[in-house]
Structures are given as structure tokens and as C-alpha cells.
Copies of this chain bind each other. A is one copy, B any other.
Amino acid sequence: MSTASDTNRLETFADGVFAIAITLLVIEIHSPDHDQIAQLGGLSHALVQLWPSYVGYVVSFVVIGIMWANHHNIFRYIGRANHVLVMLNLGLLFFVAFLPFPTAILAEYLPSPENRTTATVFYGSNLVFTALFFNVMWRYATTGRRLIRADADQQGIDGVTKEYRFGPVLYAAAALIALVNVWVSLAIHAGLAALYAVPSKSRP
């Protein structure tokens, strides 16, 4: 038995948390009740009125989905787990599992002019922490190829490192821009996710 175990259970557990967090987003979308429908003139109008909940669902689904894909991608390189990696991974999952709450706040208060700034900054701040933990975890695993598979290609590793470097700064900027304009802030979150959806050398 080696001192470092393989990454199977860490990945299974993380997959579980990602899958649950992404699927829990939907229970924050509440059915309109019969009074609201009568007042708004029909179910179709009421379903349209739920647009802030859909925005929350879409943004957070994309954000968590991309985080899962990132996690999946970096564990193509990381071959072994030790206690520190397990702890850093828990730190990351702390903010992933928390995300349905800021999402609910965002969906609830996006239509409210006096509260939408707070809601968007709160939402964005959470993403800064996920970006930070991704970076720290990746740096820890790759420094001196500490937990890297023997056959992992160094160029690919350097590509990921380069890509991640600006993540926390970009997310912090997106969060702060919400103080000026929440829509620009949300557009940046969507844009950062869209950027990731494009294949690159480090995610073939």
C-alpha cells in the first residue's frame, strides 16, 4: 500500500456534490400559485414572469457544469491523492455546494432595483472563492509534479496553469463590476463560461 491513494473516491464524492448542487438549482424555482395566475391573466404569463429564476438556473447550471468539467479535466493529470489534496478538494466543494443559496438570492432580488447590486456581488464573491481553491489545489498538485501521473504531458499542465492564473482576478473583477452595473457583471460570468466551452490544447 502506497502512502498516497488513488483519486477514485475523491472523484466519486466530488461528482456527487457537483451533480447534487446542479440538480438542486431547480427546486429554487417555485411554481406560481393560483392567485398570482388569476392576477396575471393565465399560467403562460406567470411562467414568463419567472424569468429571474430562469436566469439564475441558467447561469448557475453553466457555472457548476463548467466547474465539473474543469475538475474532470485536471484529474486527467492528477493521479494520486494525499490528505492535503483531500482537504483542498473539500474547500472547493464547500463553495460549490453553497452556490444554490446565492443563486436563489440572485433570482429573488434581480428584479428589485435597490437590492440587485448586493445580490450580484454576493453571487460573484462565491465564484471568486471557487476560482481560488481551483488554483491552490492545482498548484499544490503540480508543484514539482507532486501528485501528477507519470505519463502526464508537461505542456498540457503548463497550459492549465496559465489558463487558471487569471481566474480569481477575473471573477473578482466581475463581482466588483456589479457595483456599477449588474447586467455587465452577469454577462462577464456568462462570457467566462462560454470561453471555457471552446476546446483548447489543455482540454482536448
Contact = CB atoms under 8 A, between A and B. Distances in A.
Given A16-B16, A82-B204, A115-B43, A26 B24 contact: yes
A103 B118 CA distance: 27
A153 interface: yes
Contacts of A112: 34, 43
Given A1-B76, A43-B109, A151-B1, A13 B24 contact: no
Given A57-B98, A97-B61, A149-B1, A15 B18 contact: no
B115 A31 contact: no
A118 B52 CA distance: 20
Interface string A106-119: 00110010110011
Using C-beta atoms within 8 Å of the partner chain, give the interface range for chain A: 35 or more
A10 B149 contact: no
B10 A105 contact: no
Contacts of A77: 1
B18 A21 contact: no
Interface of A: 1, 3-5, 9-13, 15-27, 29, 31, 34, 37, 42-44, 47, 57, 61, 65, 68-69, 72, 75-77, 82-84, 86-87, 90, 93-94, 97-98, 100-101, 104-105, 108-109, 112, 114-115, 118-119, 122, 149, 151-153, 156, 197, 199-200, 203-204
